[in-house]
Structure 1
Amino acid sequence: MSAARRRGSPAAGLCPAAIDRVRIRCPQDVRRAAEALHAIAMDHGMRAAPAHNIADKHTPVDAEGNNLAREVFGWSDRKAWCGNSRIALDSPITAACRFESEPFWVNAQGFRTSLPNHYLAAIDLANFEARAMTRAAIVVPVHLPFGQIGAVSFNPLDPALTELDDLFALQGDAFGVYARTFVASYEHVMGSLQALTAAARLSKREVECLRWAAIGKTDVEIGMILNRSRATVRFHVYNASVKLNAVNRSQTVFKAAQLGYISLAS
C-alpha cells in the first residue's frame, strides 16, 4: 500500500554540509563518512544498515578492512542482516529494493511509498520480523551501474516503534540523499575495479547478433536472419564477449543488456 508524503519544504531536513560528510572520495574517507551516516541516523532515533550490494553477503569495510556494520553502526553479527547469509533471498526488504528506486518504509502491515508500486503488493510479508530482522524500517534502494543494487535501511532504536509514517514524511527524502551519497561513493572508491573499460563499444553487427541471441536464436538461425555465415555470427558474439569481459554467451547477453545495448524485456 502507499501513503501520501507530507513535506514541509523540498528536501525537508536536508543539510548540505551533512551530504558532504557522508561522501567518500578516497579509502581513508570511508570510516569518517560511515560515522557521519551513523550520527545522522542516531539523531533521529534510528540505526543505519548500509549494504553496497544486496546480492553480496559482504558489507562495507573501511580502508583497513574493518567491518563497519559492527564497528561503526553497532550491529552484532548474530542480530543483524550482516550475520544472515540468506538475507538477499529471504528478506522482503531486499526483495522490495529490486522493484523500487525511491525511499519507502515498511512493517508487517505493508509497504508505504511516495507513489504507488503494485510490485510491492505482491511481496510476501509473512513472518516479517524474523525475515527482515527488524519490526519496521525506512529503506533507501540505491541502484548503481551494471545492475548492482545497494541499500540503506534505517531501523528504529526503539523496538516497540513500528509506525514510521511521520518520520518518513519529514525525513524520507533527506535519508534518501544521504544514503545514496554514501553507498554510491563507497562503491565508486572501494568497489572492485570493472574490467570493462569506458571506451568499450559494441559494433552495430555485434549488437544485432546479441539481440537475436537474447531471444534464444542459435548461431545458425542468426546467420540466416542476417544473411551471414555461422562463423561470422560466432565471430561477432566472441568479439562482444571480449569487449564486455564475459566468460560465455549468456554473460555476454546479460552484460550487453545491463549497458543498454539490448533489451531482455519480452
Structure 2
Amino acid sequence: MLTAVRVRSLAEIRLAAEALRDAVHGLAGLKVAVTDNIAAAEPMKDADGVILAGEVFGFSGEDSRWWRFPQLALTSPLPMACRFESEPFWCNAEGIRTRTPNALLAGLDLTNFRERALTSAAIVAPIHLPFGQIAAASFLSPDPAVDDLSAPFEAVGEALALLARIFVASYVKVTERRAASIARVMLTKREVECLRWAAAGKTNDEIAMIVNLKRTTIRFHIRSAAQKLDAVNRDQALFKAAQLGFLGTLR
C-alpha cells in the first residue's frame, strides 16, 4: 500500500490516487477527500488536468461542494482544526477527538457542523508541509447520516493518515511549481522591516506611520515579499518568512 500511493512522476498521479482510494475503502470502508493546500483554490489534478476529487474519489453533485467552492474552507471546522493539530483526529458536532489532548481545539466553533463541514462526521489527517503549506485528508462514511467514526479511528486512523501523507507529500513534490531559487530567496531590508511589523500585529496604516512611508508603499513591499516567498496570502508570507529566518526580534 505504501508503495502504491507514492507519486513518483506526473504520469503516476492518477494510479496513486486510485490506490489511495482503494486502500482507504479496504481498510475502513470510507471515502477520502484530500487537498494539498487548504489555503489555495486549485484542486488536485492528474497529469491530464482531470480533477481527482470527481473522477477518482467519487465526489459529484451536492457532495462536490467541498472542492468546487474552496471558500468553504474558511468556515469549515475541519481545515480550521488542521491549523492547530498535526496528528489525526475524528470529529462530529459533539467535538474533536485526538489521541493527545489539544486545548486549542476546544475553542473551535462546531455549531451547524453538518452544514459547514459537509459531513456528519470525519476522520481527518492534517498534513503539514514545508514552507507553511497545510494539506488535509478527510475520511468520510458513504452514508451521510453516520456521525460516529470512533471505531475506524481507533482501529486504522494512524494507517489512513500515513497513506494520505505519503500520497500528498509526493504529489506536491512532482507538481511543484515553486522556483528552485526559493532556497536562495533574499528579501530587501525594507521588505523584512515591513514583514516584522506585520508579524507584530501592525496594520499597513500603522506600519506606514512607524517607518514614515506611504500605506501603498508598505503594501507594495509586503506583496513583493509574498511573491518572492511564493505565498498565497499575507499570513502565509509571514509564516514562510519566519521559517526561513527572516523574522527576528524588532529592535
**TM-score grouping bracket, smaller chain normalisation:** 0.7 to 0.9
Q: Which residue number in structure 1 is paired with residue 217 of structure 2?
A: none
Partner AA of 1:57 in structure 2: A
How large is the RMSD of aligned CA atoms in angstroms?
3.2
Match of residue 28, structure 1, among 2, 7, 11? 11
Supply the distance in 2 between the matched residues of 1:34 and 1:168 (Cα, whole angstroms): 21
Q: Does 2:101 align with 1:116?
A: yes
1:77–1:83 CA contact under 8 A, matched in 2: no
SS of the equivalent of 1:23 reads coil
**Long gaps (5+) in structure 2:** 214-220
Match of residue 245, structure 1, among 218, 228, 242? 228
Q: Which residue number in structure 2 is paired with residue 67 of structure 1?
A: 51
Q: Which residue number in structure 2 is paired with residue 92 of structure 1?
A: 77
Q: Does 2:162 align with 1:159?
A: no
After superposition, what is the alpha-carbon deviation per residue over 1:192-238, rounded to whole angstroms, capped at 9, x for unaligned?
2236432346799x97896567445969978xxxxxxx9xxxxxxx8
SS of the equivalent of 2:90 reads strand
Q: Does 2:135 align with 1:144?
A: no
Q: Using the TM superposition, give the Cα deviation of residue 83 of structure 1 relative to its aligned residue in structure 2, in angstroms.
A: 2.6
Q: Using the TM superposition, give the Cα deviation of residue 157 of structure 1 relative to its aligned residue in structure 2, in angstroms.
A: 1.5
Q: Which residue number in structure 1 is paired with residue 22 of structure 2?
A: 39
Partner AA of 2:19 in structure 1: A
Q: Does 2:73 align with 1:78?
A: no
Q: Which residue number in structure 1 is paired with residue 168 of structure 2?
A: 183
Q: Using the TM superposition, give the Cα deviation of residue 259 of structure 1 relative to its aligned residue in structure 2, in angstroms.
A: 2.3
Supply the distance in 2 between the matched residues of 1:212 and 1:69 (Cα, whole angstroms): 40
1:105–1:139 CA contact under 8 A, matched in 2: yes
Supply the distance in 2 between the matched residues of 1:108 and 1:220 (Cα, whole angstroms): 45
Partner AA of 1:128 in structure 2: F
Change (3 A) 1:246 1:19: closer
Partner AA of 2:22 in structure 1: A
1:142–1:150 CA contact under 8 A, matched in 2: yes
Change (3 A) 1:86 1:145: same
Match of residue 34, structure 2, among 2, 27, 50? 50
1:140–1:153 CA contact under 8 A, matched in 2: yes
Q: Which moved more, 1:82-91 or 1:103-112?
A: 82-91
Change (3 A) 1:243 1:57: closer
Q: Does 2:244 align with 1:262?
A: no
Supply the distance in 1 between the matched residues of 2:208 and 2:144 (Cα, whole angstroms): 58
2:132–2:239 CA contact under 8 A, matched in 1: no
Change (3 A) 1:163 1:254: closer
| Structure with the bigger percentage of helix | 2
Supply the distance in 1 between the matched residues of 2:93 and 2:198 (Cα, whole angstroms): 42
Supply the distance in 1 between the matched residues of 2:199 and 2:178 (Cα, whole angstroms): 27
Q: Using the TM superposition, give the Cα deviation of residue 84 of structure 1 relative to its aligned residue in structure 2, in angstroms.
A: 2.7
SS of the equivalent of 2:111 reads coil
Change (3 A) 1:263 1:173: farther
Supply the distance in 1 between the matched residues of 2:226 and 2:118 (Cα, whole angstroms): 41
Q: Using the TM superposition, give the Cα deviation of residue 131 of structure 1 relative to its aligned residue in structure 2, in angstroms.
A: 0.8
Supply the distance in 1 between the matched residues of 2:94 and 2:238 (Cα, whole angstroms): 39
2:194–2:207 CA contact under 8 A, matched in 1: no
SS of the equivalent of 1:60 reads coil
1:202–1:243 CA contact under 8 A, matched in 2: no
How many residue pairs get matched? 232
After superposition, what is the alpha-carbon deviation per residue over 1:112-132, rounded to whole angstroms, capped at 9, x for unaligned?
001111111111111111110
1:200–1:244 CA contact under 8 A, matched in 2: no
2:185–2:228 CA contact under 8 A, matched in 1: no
**Long gaps (5+) in structure 1:** 1-17, 223-229, 231-237
Partner AA of 2:55 in structure 1: E
Q: Percent identity?
A: 46
2:5–2:19 CA contact under 8 A, matched in 1: yes
